Chains A and B, each alone.
Chain A
Amino acid sequence: MEAVLAIAIGVLFAAAIYMMLRRSIVKLVIGLMLLSNAANLLIFTMAGLTRGAPPLVPEGMSAPAGPVADPLPQALVLTAIVIAFGVLSFAVVLVRRAWEIVRTDDLNRMKDTDT
């Protein structure tokens, strides 16, 4: 399972970088989205995948019995998803605003806006 996820993460990173190197700003933002998803998946996988062992403490004990899934990376991923959502919505609005003002999607043609 880890191998499959590792390959998926690699593909996501590669796709993200490819998209970010395009000239279109919309594709740049798509690249950023893929990038943040790849990072989230990476954190999720790095901590090790444990199936069917929720980190629950049985009644009357102070620690869970046996090996359980590490809940912390999932909390991290959750936080990272929320942050990425906020930041990327900003990026989408920025792209729209830039298009409204400059009327182009091409980063090369935006060069002359700032003189």
Chain B
Amino acid sequence: MNPALVLPIVLPLLSGTLSLVLWRSRRMQRLIAVLGTLALLVSGVRLLGLVSRDGIQVLQVGGWQAPFGISLVADVLGAIMVVLTGIIGLAVAIYSLATTGRGHEAFGYFPLMHLLLAGVAGAFLTGDIFNLYVWFEVMLVASFALLILGSERPQMEGAIKYVTLNLVSSVIFLVAVGLLYSLVGSLNMADIAQRLTRLEDRRLVDALAMMFMVAFGIKAAAFPLFFWLPASYHTPPVAVSALFAGLLTKVGVYALYRVFTLIFHHSPGYTHEILLWGAGLTMLCGVLGAAAQHEFRRILSFHIVSQIGYMMLGLALFTPLAIIGGVFYIIHHIIVKTNLFLVSGIVHRLRGSYQLKRLGGLYREHPWLAILFLIPALSLAGMPPLSGFFAKFIVIRAGIEAEAYGVTFIALLVGLLTLYSMVKIWSEVFWKPLPEEGESDDRQPPARRELWLMAAPALGLALCTLFIGLNAGPIHALAEASAAQLLAPEHYIEAVLGETGGGS
């Protein structure tokens, strides 16, 4: 029995329940939001320490033996993702103390946030494919409600696209799970992997792999099914945008990594080739979409899509170096992208707009904010010595070593276009003088405390980026450890099934 594995799931659920119980007390809900996410972060760090010291951790829930019960499994990748969930959860919780209005809190913002974090952590830790579906749904239901929080007019169209596409993806996932069960007769991922290698009638396997790829691809916002993301991410309150941008699509990417290293790794010539094309087109479409936008959060949303391509590229190349790069990229991207959304929220609070043409002159007034934007922006574009440089460097080097020159070229080009987008935001929002439209500025300037609550998480995440960039060694070692585990699924299978003497 290993309680460290359940804590990252139970703690947010508990905080969510407590917030529901204390529904009337706004003060307590805020306190629980910060303490709960802090506890999640601590439990995640503890789990990561445990996993990197003692290897893969397994918990058979309810004491049922491995292929029959539900297993919770934490390998290095899962533990890293839980730590990142904690970091983003904490940053967004502090940030939303200042940005979430009374109305949004009255609709249950904080309980929903905890539920979302529980769903995300559950998806990262489960070792059962149907359980993964259930955690996906937990996460989705919470995200649906968060997305239309306040139900304003612009939110409706995005919400309908988001709900429809995600439901379709869930159904595809569910059908694929059903077909997989009929094929191998198990739902435990380790057991599935083992039985699938022994399967003789392999006609359905590639088709199933494609169904999983489509289902997770929609959730990860990969080409060609990414359009729900830029349609919806710029509409909710900014703290929600930041939370979604950091975590939701990455759950899809994580699921792709898990399924295509553990279960469907037998015919990489077919599945990973398709992933490779998907990755290239995802990068290109995302970045070209961003180049055409003139709204702060929309540009950032399109860049999520393009960055997803890099992570998929790491998986698609399927060499040790590429997987290291992909994992490094996920770590870097979650922190940087949330940070950029947080900065966009501060800009909005100061100026009252996300439209680039209405913004300007912020460098003169708030140089600290400009620096706060510049760090994650340059990191996103891949400037040394920030975290993005190493992430891109490893992925691109892996691409060259694997002789996938076309996709590598696209990756380099996309890096350049990312820089263009970031420079566009920089010059429009911070450098150019404030346009003289004479808008009646009747908004109150934010109080010092409010501004601090917004700036502190952004600063913390910027420091994380700097830390990863200047101190890439330990992070690289972590990514290397998780890549080693991902490419040797025997250990995962042994850890899950072995201790019960199973392996039917």
Tell me whether A and B are bound partners. Answer: yes
Q: List the interface of chain A (C-beta within 8 A of B).
A: 20, 25, 28, 32, 35-36, 38-39, 42-43, 46-48, 72-73, 76, 79-80, 83, 86-87, 90-91, 94-95, 97-98, 101-102, 107, 110-111, 113-115
- 25 A-B pairs with CB atoms under 8 Å apart are A20-B164, A25-B160, A32-B167, A35-B171, A39-B174, A42-B178, A46-B178, A46-B181, A47-B181, A48-B182, A83-B134, A86-B141, A87-B140, A90-B144, A94-B148, A94-B156, A94-B163, A98-B156, A98-B159, A101-B153, A101-B156, A102-B156, A110-B157, A111-B157, A113-B156
5 closest pairs, A vs B, by CB? Answer: A43-B178, A46-B182, A98-B156, A114-B154, A83-B137
Cα distance A79–B235 in the bound complex, in angstroms:
31
List residues 128-167 of chain B with CB under 8 A from any CB of chain A. 130, 133-134, 137, 140-141, 144-145, 148, 151-154, 156-160, 163-164, 167
Neighbouring A residues of B182 by C-beta, 8 Å: 46-48
Residue of A nearest to B156 (CB): A98
The CB with the most chain B CB atoms within 10 A, among A43, A47, A94, is that of: A94
Cα distance A39–B168 in the bound complex, in angstroms:
11
A interface SS class:
helix
The answer to whether B141 and A97 touch across the interface, beta carbons within 8 angstroms, is: no
Cα distance A20–B160 in the bound complex, in angstroms:
12
The answer to whether B148 and A36 touch across the interface, beta carbons within 8 angstroms, is: no
The answer to whether B157 and A80 touch across the interface, beta carbons within 8 angstroms, is: no
Neighbouring B residues of A113 by C-beta, 8 Å: 153-154, 156-157
Instruction: Please judge, given known A-B contacts A32-B167, A73-B181, whether A94 and B187 are in contact too, CB under 8 Å.
Output: no
The answer to whether B134 and A43 touch across the interface, beta carbons within 8 angstroms, is: no
Cα distance A25–B160 in the bound complex, in angstroms:
9
Neighbouring A residues of B174 by C-beta, 8 Å: 39, 43, 80
Neighbouring A residues of B175 by C-beta, 8 Å: 39, 42-43
B179 on the interface (CB 8 Å rule)? yes
Q: What is the CB-to-nearest-CB distance from A40 to chain B, in angstroms, rounded to a whole number?
A: 8
Neighbouring B residues of A86 by C-beta, 8 Å: 141
Q: What is the CB-to-nearest-CB distance from B358 to chain A, in angstroms, rounded to a whole number?
A: 13
The answer to whether A91 and B163 touch across the interface, beta carbons within 8 angstroms, is: yes
Cα distance A42–B130 in the bound complex, in angstroms:
15
Neighbouring A residues of B133 by C-beta, 8 Å: 80
Q: What is the CB-to-nearest-CB distance from A15 to chain B, in angstroms, rounded to a whole number?
A: 14
The answer to whether A73 and B151 touch across the interface, beta carbons within 8 angstroms, is: no
The listed residue (A35, A79, A87) touching B141 by CB distance below 8 A is A87
Residue of B nearest to A115 (CB): B154
Neighbouring B residues of A79 by C-beta, 8 Å: 130, 134
Neighbouring B residues of A35 by C-beta, 8 Å: 167-168, 171
The CB with the most chain A CB atoms within 10 A, among B158, B167, B179, B231, is that of: B167
Residue of B nearest to A102 (CB): B156
Q: What is the CB-to-nearest-CB distance from A16 to chain B, in angstroms, rounded to a whole number?
A: 9
The answer to whether A90 and B145 touch across the interface, beta carbons within 8 angstroms, is: yes
Residue of B nearest to A75 (CB): B130
Q: What is the CB-to-nearest-CB distance from A111 to chain B, in angstroms, rounded to a whole number?
A: 7
Neighbouring A residues of B152 by C-beta, 8 Å: 101
The answer to whether B181 and A94 touch across the interface, beta carbons within 8 angstroms, is: no
The answer to whether A76 and B178 touch across the interface, beta carbons within 8 angstroms, is: yes
The answer to whether A39 and B171 touch across the interface, beta carbons within 8 angstroms, is: yes
Cα distance A113–B134 in the bound complex, in angstroms:
33
The listed residue (B134, B160, B170) touching A94 by CB distance below 8 A is B160
Neighbouring B residues of A111 by C-beta, 8 Å: 157
Neighbouring A residues of B231 by C-beta, 8 Å: 114
The listed residue (A25, A90, A101) touching B151 by CB distance below 8 A is A101
